[in-house]
Amino acid sequence: MNNFTYRNPVELVFGKGTIAELRRLVPQGDKVLFAYGGGSIKKNGVYDQVRAALEGRDVLEFAGIEPNPRYETCMKAVDLCRREGVGFLLAVGGGSVLDAVKFIAAAVPFQGEPWDILAKHAKVEAALPLGSVLTLPATGSEMNGNSVISRDETREKLAFYSPLVYPKFSILDPETTFTLPPRQTANGVVDAFAHTMEQYMTYPADAPLQDRMAEAILSTLIEIGPKLLEHPHDYQLRANMMWTATMALNGLIGLGVPQDWATHGIGHELTALYGMDHGQTLAVVMPAVWRFKFADKKAKLAQYAKRVWGVAGTEEEKAKAAIEKTEEFFRLLGVKTRLAEYGAENAVEQVPPRLAQRGVVLGERRDIGPDQVREILRLCAA
């Protein structure tokens, strides 16, 4: 096992009726920016619950944060916060709203061009405090310090991490997710699955606890994913999904073990170029990364096939079955697994030069460069 330190400062408040806890959690005296997306929270009652809990507070609203949040939109909020002296940010929505608010938190006190936080990994020295009410289980953003922001002008989608942008608290009320459309529910299952895999599907690292925690998350997603689509108002299913997605990317299962993240790196390019949903990009790319890296990942693929899917056979047979079973699972959820199915076949030629320009290398062995990415994209083109 590799050395590690672990500190996760998020106060997680989980369960029915917990939005009312905002009264206690949002600090008194600060001007609050209440940021949300395109209006789903107005249709499902979440907006009203938030307003009721914040009654009597000095609240400014910022609406219209889009999926794959745009830098241009975030900067409007940054201006507003600077002008109005906002002291606390509240994100209410899915991963996109949370990520946007993390970037806004870091950008408000930033000296210079805030895009450098993403493009040049400029150090975040200060950030406004933030909290969240999550309405879409998928990204883990509610319990991590990551954020992914897109810029129209340059068609880039870039990530940053800072310990200063962990939410102070995150409220997870599973009832807020009853209104998720099937596509977003399925995307969320695929995203949480992929997060687990990015921290698991590498090579054996003598970390049996991390392995088994990851396998528990995968088994749970396989068990509840299809049921969620059939029973969108089942509280227990929604609750289990919410907790599972958080556990997939709050740092715990990745401690001391090698991590991959090639699927996410390639996937962000597909969203930037073709507007594919984040979950869709992962369903396409992940099986292709495994096919391309079959020899390196064979031992873990076979372990996963045996323990999670109950497959028997030789190592080779189990490893192959692992890839097929995973693809079948994504397709069962209604998420397609080929570039051509999204009209994105051109990625084979368009993505590698973009990565070359940025000097990107991916994978647990840092041996996936632009040429290898081209091969991976060929494997999932049609």
- Asked if 158 is part of the footprint of ligand NZQ (rule: CB under 6 A), the reply reads no
Q: Which residue lies nearer to ligand NZQ by CB, 195 or 320? A: 195
Dist. CA 235–CA 333, nearest whole Å = 19
Whole-number minimum distance, CB 268 to Zn ion, in Å?
9
> Applying CB under 6 A, does 147 fall inside the site for ligand NZQ?
yes
Candidate list 99, 191, 198, 364; residue touching Zn ion; CB under 5 A: 191
- Residue 202 interacts with ligand NZQ (CB under 6 A): yes or no: no
Helix (H, G, I), strand (E, B) or coil at 31: coil
* Minimum distance from residue 144 beta carbon to Zn ion (Å): 11
Alpha helices by DSSP H, listed for the chain, are 22-25, 40-43, 46-53, 71-84, 95-107, 115-119, 182-198, 208-230, 235-248, 262-274, 278-292, 294-309, 315-332, 347-358, 370-379
Region of 38-46, 72-80, 284-292, 332-340 interacting with ligand NZQ (CB under 6 A): 38-46
From candidates 49, 73, 132, 141, binder to ligand NZQ by CB under 6 A: 141
For position 269 contacting Zn ion by CB under 5 A, the verdict is: no
201 within 8 A of 304, measured Cβ to Cβ = yes
146 in contact with ligand NZQ (CB under 6 A): yes
Nearer to ligand NZQ, 198 or 345 (CB): 198
CB 270 within 8 A of CB 205: no
Amino acid in the structure at residue 199: Q
To ligand NZQ, the closest distance from the beta carbon of 145 in angstroms equals: 8
Q: What crossing angle do the helices spanning 262-274 and 347-358 adopt, rounded to 10°?
A: 110
Q: What backbone phi and psi angles, to 5 degrees, belong to 137?
A: -75, 125
Residue 176 within binding range of ligand NZQ, rule CB under 6 A: yes
DSSP string, 129-142: -EEEEE-S-SS-GG
Compute the least distance from the CB of residue 118 to ligand NZQ, in Å: 12
We find the least distance from the C-beta atom of residue 364 to ligand NZQ, in angstroms, to be 17
Closer of 175 and 191 to Zn ion (Cβ): 191
Amino acid identity at 90:
L
Query: Of ligand NZQ, Zn ion, none, which one sits near residue 180, judging by CB under 5 to 8 A according to partner kind?
Result: ligand NZQ
Residue 187 touches which member of Zn ion, ligand NZQ, none, C-beta under 5-8 Å by kind: ligand NZQ
Give yes or no for a contact between 41 and 171, defined as CB atoms under 8 angstroms apart.
no
CA-based nearest residue to 160, from 168, 152, 169, 151: 151
**Beta bridge partner(s), residue 159:** 148
- CA 20 vs. chain centroid, Å, equals 26
Write the interaction track for ligand NZQ spanning residues 58-87; mark x where CB under 6 A is met and - where it is not.
---------xx-------------------
Q: Does residue 132 interact with ligand NZQ by CB under 6 A?
A: no
Instruction: Give CA–CA dist 144/163, Å, rounded.
Output: 8
By CB under 6 A, residue 225 contacts ligand NZQ:
no
Residues 245-264, mask of contacts with ligand NZQ (x by CB under 6 A): ----x--------------x
What angle, rounded to 10 degrees, do the helices at 262-274 and 370-379 form?
80
Binding track over 273-292 against ligand NZQ, x by CB under 6 A: -----x--------------
- Cβ atoms within 10 A of the Cβ of 31, count? 14
Question: Around Cβ 39, how many Cβ atoms within 10 Å?
Answer: 12
Q: Which residue's CB is nearer to ligand NZQ, number 195 or number 306?
A: 195
Q: Applying CB under 6 A, which of residues 93, 225, 254, 352 lies at the interface with ligand NZQ?
A: 93
Question: What type of residue sits at position 378?
Answer: R
Residues within window 181-200 making contact with ligand NZQ, judged by CB under 6 A: 184, 187, 191
List interacting residues with Zn ion (CB under 5 A).
191
List interacting residues with ligand NZQ (CB under 6 A).
37-41, 44, 67-68, 93-97, 99, 135-136, 138-141, 144, 146-148, 176-177, 179-180, 184, 187, 191, 249, 264, 278
